[in-house]
Amino acid sequence: MSLTAFLATYGALLSSVALGWNLYRDLRDRASVKVRLSLKRIATSTDGRQYAVAPDLNVADTTEQVFVYLSITNVGRRPVKLVGMGGTYKRPVNGKSSFQVAAVNVPKLLSEGEDTFEFNPDFVLVSENVKSLYMYDTTHKEWKVGRRNLRLVKEQAKQYENQSVMEREE
């Protein structure tokens, strides 16, 4: 093999690797949001700040009410402006197959690695008829809660709904 053929092969291989790397990097250079759902109670610390705790955790100055808690994190490389929250039903309600939720912390611009949260006292968000929950951005891209996460929180919500009904009866 001559030196010219070797250098031509090496140059073609090197440029192919560089092209592949640039395509990979450019396709990954976008926004990506992770939305997680859980149930929380609100506790107040001694300095007056509020924070979220697990509903079964006994902490002083904790609310009795259990909230639906959405944790939203920008795991992508581009900022995202979240503008709303909604979901879809399994079976239509009043002729509608989707719903919107009044969110407190939106609109919110999330930079790379930044996170925010949403509290909602309405357990309807985790009722059996809810198919999906999501946050959406200015381009109307929906960032959904994972199906497994939603299913687990629905199971937990049944337990706390039953407890609150029993407490009201007493």
Residues 41-77 pLDDT 10s: 888 888 888 888 888 888 777 888 888 889 999 998 8
Q: What was the pLDDT predicted at 118? A: 86
What tokens appear for 168 in the block?
Answer: 């009201």
**Res. 163: pLDDT tops 70:** no
Which of 61, 60, 55 has the alpha carbon at shortest distance from 121? 55
**Res. 107: pLDDT tops 80:** yes
What φ, ψ does residue 167 adopt, rounded to 5°? -65, -40
**Res. 27: pLDDT tops 50:** yes
Structural domain boundaries in the chain: 1-29, 31-169
Contact 51, 22 (CB under 8 A): no
Residues 148-159 pLDDT 10s: 999 999 988 888
Which of 126, 89, 79, 86 has the alpha carbon at shortest distance from 103? 86
**Res. 10: pLDDT tops 80:** yes
Overall pTM surpassing 0.75 (yes/no): no
Residues 111-128 pLDDT 10s: 988 988 888 888 788 888
**111: number of Cβ within 10 Å:** 9
Find tokens 């790379």 and name the residue: 112
What is the DSSP-derived secondary structure letter of residue 52?
A: E
Q: Where are the beta strands (DSSP E) in 30-160?
A: 33-44, 50-53, 67-74, 80-93, 96-101, 108-110, 115-120, 130-137, 142-144
